[in-house]
Structure 1
């Protein structure tokens, strides 16, 4: 056995420690499982396995079904998660607008045209057509919510009435 002196307490090699370490290494590498109570699963271990299985199943389901979603929804590149999304912490009016923007179901020009709503207001007070993206990039929204506008990239669709 060797000893290490001069370092902080606890750095000395304890007599027999190297032998115990080598036995522990051999036991860890062995295929033999102790049949005693320590071999039984713990509640924490079962929970970890359950979370892992649930994640694998839902991820597989999402990978299979995500391509069938509309292109407008897929462009958001959203993941499927079991836990509550951060968006649910938003106020109801803000969440309403976010969901309308993502799903493209809302007070938008294309929606009103598709369902032939003759009396619908299809333009924003700023004069541009109401589109899902316009809600984010409208000059009125930018003035009212400057922090959101600063974090948002500019629209890529330059067609008239799309921004």
Structure 2
């Protein structure tokens, strides 16, 4: 059995163990070719879908940010829904492992405000209004294998795609991760532009650039790479090199006597 198939089977088996009155939220994110990002979530209780929403985040969010915001939005909708009084636990299921591991933990970097809001919400869940016989419970996070044809996760993915494709009502705020990526892209472009102005002619003739940082030549074996470096730098067994450094013992002629 393939790992993805096995993971999907494990999750499906886990789903059967969730009490029917617990609320289960599936959240997901989407990003279009033009950079627009969206999120979505669906909610189930007693095997009935009672929540669904598509969210638009515009161009200023990375996939990581939208995944976290979709999970938060789903949890916020669930805790305020009237039937939350019947549920013991609130399950948040998402296929982004990094976000899943950080939702209930102190976080640095992008979307700190979102993660802080989620932890505040998790602390409020046991204090919600509930029936006398309903336990306080907690918010639980569960990773879902993505692209494993789990129906609920596929439905959340569809909601996210609809959110990304919708028309933005107003300019959206940019996240830290999005601004960081933009700044990195701009700096690389500026460095490349400056290099084209100041690069020695010999480097320009060999089309040596500043990007990528790890050119394909580095994948060659050491012998071939060494020959390329010698040819490009001119520091090798060349007559000009030996004459420049006054190597009196150097043999300057080729075996063909040229």
Larger RCO: 1 or 2 (CA < 8 Å, sep 6+)? 2
When the two structures are superposed, what TM-score results if normalisation uses the length of structure 2?
A: 0.31
Higher strand share: 2
